[in-house]
Amino acid sequence: MEGMQAYGAGKAGGAFDPVTFLQQPQTILRIVSWLFSIVIFGCIANEGYINRPNEVEEYCIFNRNQNACNYGVFMGSMAFLCCVAFLALDVYFPQISSVKDRKKAVLADIGISAFWSFMWFVGFCFLANQWQVTKQEDNPLREGGDAARAAITFSFFSIFTWAGQSFLAFQRYKLGADSALFSHEYTDPSQDAAGAPYTSFGGDDLESPGGGGGQTNSDGPFDGSGGYQRQDY
């Protein structure tokens, strides 16, 4: 994997090293984002719905706005799945032989990570605003306050973890491909050797054992003068 690389990974076919994979910056950020999404989803799903003592139906802790809780749960669950998908792509990425496919994967990483960073910014602003205007009489027992603040906090942190993933993907895109090692459609050299056409040997290029060069073929009729002469003993 050392030396020339294409979009941050070496030539296809190398062995997978889990230690090196876990030490990569994009892997660390994806795992952190994955954990943040679990915290946000769990906080809202478990403690994000409360009710007054004289009520039976539960409402969202964020200003009794169901859209706020639905947004947080949806974003947390989808971010969880997206992190898992990107981790799987990172594992498979070094095995992608085509530089064009690698470029598409890196561009998708840039766009999707930037999109998630923006969506978490929107979610942070939305949840923080709804929490700020929440009335105390809606939650007289102060239930779920820590969970709500945790969801807001980790939404804020998620902005930077996803932005960092987009930045690292952009750095990989700038690296591009090394044309000395990769072609646009890289194929296994063993397959090229197996599929090479067979070339027959021509008699014109062969030299005689005496070192005097080969005898050229003549288009004229054979007169027997240049052939083998019988020796009488």
Quote the pLDDT of residue 21: 86
Residue scoring higher pLDDT (19 or 122) = 122
- The pTM assigned to this predicted structure is 0.69
Structure tokens at 177: 């491909």
pLDDT of amino acid 44: 94
Structure tokens that stand for 10 in this block: 């070496």
**Residue with more model confidence, 103 or 163:** 163
**Maximum distance among all alpha carbons in the chain?**
133
Q: Is the pLDDT of residue 199 over 70?
A: no
For residues 153-159, average pLDDT: 97
Three state DSSP letters for the chain? CCCCCECCECCCCCCCCHHHHHHCHHHHHHHHHHHHHHHHHHHHHHHCEECCCCCCCCEECCCCCHHHHHHHHHHHHHHHHHHHHHHHHHHHHHHCCCHHHHHHHHHHHHHHHHHHHHHHHHHHHHHHHHHHCCCHHHCCCCCCHHHHHHHHHHHHHHHHHHHHHHHHHHHHHHHCECCCCCCCCCCCHHHHHHCCCCCCCCHHHCCCCCCCCCCCCCCCCCCCCCCCCCCCC
Domain limits of the chain? 18-182
What's the pLDDT at 102?
86
Higher pLDDT, 229 or 29: 29
Nearest in space to 72 (alpha carbons), one of 50, 47, 52 = 47
Burial of 169 (0-12, 13-18, 19+ CB in 10 A): buried
Is residue 1 within 8 Å of residue 10, measured between CB atoms?
yes
pLDDT digits (tens, 9 = 90+) for 127-154: 999 999 988 887 777 788 899 999 999 9
